Chains A and B, each alone.
Chain A
Amino acid sequence: MALNFKQETFRDDYSYSNSAHAIRRFPFPFAEDQYMYSVNIEPHTRGNPGSVYEFPFDIDEHYIAECQDKKITLEQDPGRYHALPHMMDAQWDFLELTMTALANDYPEHFSLSRNGQTWTWENKPLGIRDTFTFGDSSTLASEPFDYIGRQVQGDFVLLDQRDGTLYADAGIVTSQADWSLAFNVGMSWKEWHGPVPRATEIGVMDRALKYLLNLQLANPVRRLNWTMTVNPRLDTSPENYPHWGGDRNKVNADNVGELVNLRVELQSLFRLPRSNAIVFSIRCYLMRLKDIASYPRWAKRLHRVQKTMHPDLIEYKGMTKFHPIVVDWLSKFDDGADLGIGTYPE
């Protein structure tokens, strides 16, 4: 099925919006009324047709606008792309993985023809067609990870595996929830998870690392993470904090449903074949609270989860300023009915 790509923005006038179809397929992350960190990793297997899990890399109606926003961010701050020299094999692995997946899963929009090492890639939505030699960076306009990372929705970090841990040794990161690639590049698993409250004590990070070190080819895994963002802004980076941090003071009882977005990250991890590296894919979905509330079950669930959220987590996720307003607004949707377990909308 061909997608209808929208013209919209993730900054300035924030014209971003979700169609009814996009709302329905939103990966709502709360299956229960209480939230706590856990190793909520599951196999990244093919999901239902139309769902965000249907394919390894989800392309949706926001594709063109998101790639344009990524381009703007990279132009303003080239440091959002970084790759250490020993990651070149991993770069080509990533290019192969994403090009193969997109061409296979969205044949109306992408195609890849391989003739030995000579590959031709066509990206119709972005009007790109290039022929290059696989493994030879000089045949592409930029490094392979940079080249294709700009053409896939989401952020990507390439993790090198050595000394019994994972190092974030390359990344293309333009839609991050307040973390910095420039700060984290070259860091080990324990270093970059240092600030997560309450998770280290309960051993979650050690167990997750152990699991990922054994991640296998052709057996990717995924988890959902979430936060809340004021305005549908992809680039909520520490580097650009002055452009978005103050928006958190603008939320009030009248505009909260319009202004506050539930930001869900579909995080998936794939083992890469030639490099034995891992690609960490962070695909961001933004949904205005008023759109979430179009499904009463979601509104009730979100209310209960937020109402019982630990203050440390509210602070860590940067929601302290507006969180009481969100809980108050959501409360009017909650009749206390038993919702059972599950993330489905109705």
Chain B
Amino acid sequence: MNMIDVKVAAIKQVTPLIKHFTFVKEDGSELPPFSGGSHIVVALDADGRTYRNPYSLMGSPTQTDAYHISVRRQENSRGGSAFMHENVSVGMTLKITHPVNLFTLAKMAHKHILIAGGIGITPFMSQIEDLKRLGVEYELHYAFRSYAQAAFVDELKKACGSSLYCYGDSEGERLDIKGLLSRQPLGTHVYVCGPSPMVVSVIETARDLGWPEHSIHNEQFLSPPVGEPFKVQLAKSEIEVEVPAEMSMLEAIEAAGVKAEYLCRGGVCGRCELGVLEHDGGLEHHDHFLTESEKASCRKIMPCVSRSKGKRLLLDL
């Protein structure tokens, strides 16, 4: 995969838990343009291993002198977000992937309803720039715990004006998802990014109201969950890899020097899919890519987020 070398040009503490990072090319040249909703994967070498975490690109897709990401420090971080918060400093160089978009705006929609929960605001920060540039109708509904902890409210007010609707939980302000989705004209698309219960609620409400499936969009990157350690045998490479509790299978395979395909590393895109030849206790599927029947068959697994329930797996790699 072609990686881009970037330098950390600025770091800003946006809220007690969120840091904003600005990346530039070391030689000062422009970074590639991108489309609203894109993310990059940031590669970090720490404690003798490489973390690769996806983050949404913020800011205008046409302003490519710098890339912007925001990172929320995760409770029970496996290391990626903690490392970004504690160890990344201005002037450091990092490797990033080219932008990938798994959360695109539907270009033929008549209206766009964007629903963000907390740090889920980040992909919308670039999408609103595209929507404004294209002059299409949209509303941004942003729900968070409190105004004190909410990131980018002032910026968004400036950018979106009357298209922005904020909901501070501590102020007793609640987003009425059903009410919102009930009053939209035909041809509206809804996009949601935020905590899992919110994403599920928006998807289910839209379905219940009879919204067509292709008008409902969500982005929900998963961090690889911590689990029990297990062993992976790679049939083609003929090696055995230990997957520790706090490492993903994909990370363990990479650390063993085996080249594996990947793209989003968050259980969404499907690129890292591997064939399962043998297992001894079932698979712990965490991805959003495989269908329920594929998951039940135990013949495929997404090693970026999923694990073995047993002690050993044999993979077609």
Chain A interface residues (CB < 8 Å from chain B): 86-87, 89, 93, 160-163, 210, 214, 216-219, 273-276
Contacts and interface: CB of A to CB of B under 8 A. Distances in A.
A200 B104 CA distance: 28
Contacts of B34: 217, 273-274
B100 interface: yes
B32 A162 contact: no
Contacts of A273: 32-35, 61, 99
A214 B273 CA distance: 12
Interface in B44-82: 61-62
B164 interface: no
8 contacts: A87-B107, A162-B107, A210-B270, A217-B34, A217-B99, A217-B100, A273-B34, A273-B35
B98 A160 contact: no
B12 interface: no
What secondary structure prevails in chain A residues at the interface with B? Answer: loop
Considering residues A87, A161, A162, A276, which has the most beta carbons from chain B within 10 angstroms of its beta carbon? A276
Contacts of B108: 86, 162
Contact of B98 (A163, A219, A275): A219
Given A216-B98, A218-B98, A274 B263 contact: no
A216 B100 contact: yes
Q: Which 5 A-B pairs have the closest CB atoms?
A: A86-B107, A217-B98, A276-B35, A163-B214, A273-B33
B291 interface: no
Given A162-B104, A217-B98, A275-B107, 17 more contacts: A87-B107, A89-B107, A93-B33, A162-B107, A162-B214, A210-B270, A214-B263, A216-B2, A216-B97, A217-B99, A219-B2, A219-B98, A273-B61, A274-B35, A274-B61, A274-B62, A275-B35
Given A274-B34, A274-B35, A219 B107 contact: no
Interface string B283-312: 000000000000000000000000000000
**From A86, A87, A162, A163, residue with most partner B Cβ within 10 Å:** A162
A219 B2 CA distance: 7
A283 to B, nearest CB: 23
Contacts of B32: 217-218, 273
B95 interface: no
A223 B257 CA distance: 29
Contacts of B61: 273-274
B269 interface: yes
Contacts of A275: 35, 107
B25 interface: no
Nearest to A88: B134
